[in-house]
Amino acid sequence: MRMDEAERENSASAPYAGLTPDVVLDALDAVGLYGDGRLLALNSFENRVYQVALDGAAPVVAKFYRPGRWSDAQILEEHAFLADLSEHEVPAVAPLVLGSGGTLATHAGYRYAVFPRQGGRVPDLENRDALERLGCYIGRIHALGAVRAFAERPTLGIQSYGREPRDWLAASDFVPAELRPAWLAAVDLALESVARCLDAAGNVARIRLHGDCHAGNVLWLDGPHFVDFDDARNGPAVQDLWMLADALGEPAEAWECLLRGYRLFMDFDRRELLLVEALRTLRLIHYAYWIARRWSDPAFPAAFPWFGTVRYWQDRILELKEQIGAMTC
């Protein structure tokens, strides 16, 4: 999740205060999609996402981007990747081409895209065949992702996901003063271990990724459909695999199934397995930073009331110590 100057300026106020149901419907009207008045807010903290029922047509999903997070070029790069995947019959849900001829529109100061509604349920990760099929499709995503890197979107790394969050949180009031030295010590040791794992893995390829490929971003109907590429970026292939493997009680079995399918379409560099615990550690550090940077958005205090408590940061310190032990690079 990239933070830039525009977002820092915007963070002082509620970013979606003006996004009323009327504004959502007017935005769709402006691109020739006429709602019948029925809106359903879908689960999303980073952006605002609505299922919109249309007059005489199938429902659509309208996604209103958080102001200042991504540039237009970065959003359009994500859309181009999704279009490329769709053209190659990879089941990733791509945005519709709107009346303007593009996929990104603006209304009342909000940038938005519209997607076809995709039904489905969370995949059964206990099912070996389902895991293997997931591996197949992620392999296909990565085969296209490896053709060229993102030019506008960032690369997942220790600086953006570890050091910058560490420095920002250390200078904030979110970490209780009495726990700040212990938290900083744990973060610093954890980042040293992350750096060792990165060195041990060596120069593994950085390709275009989904970036946040957990079970909640896969809808299963007759097979998997990948949604929400909002965190798409360059990074090691294993980033799109480890969260799915993690969700199964027997991760070794999960890896076997995922990689059996994956290798049908894409080679896998086994050195990347050295990065799993490092990537998990960076995600844990960055998650606290993400909540803190969004705290002015009223949705965040309501959803994370425990954030900032002594107990919360005690748990984060313990979590990081466990991760230091898990990184054996």
Beta bridge partners of 92: 226
4 part of the active site: no
Catalytic annotation, pick one of 84, 228, 230, 231: 228
Give the residue among 252, 254, 236, 244 at the shortest CA–CA distance from 220: 244
Contact 316, 221 (CB under 8 A): no
Give the residue among 168, 183, 255, 243 at the shortest CA–CA distance from 210: 243
Catalytic annotation, pick one of 22, 55, 199, 212: 212
Identify the DSSP state of 65: P
267 part of the active site: no
Q: Which residues are catalytic?
A: 212, 228
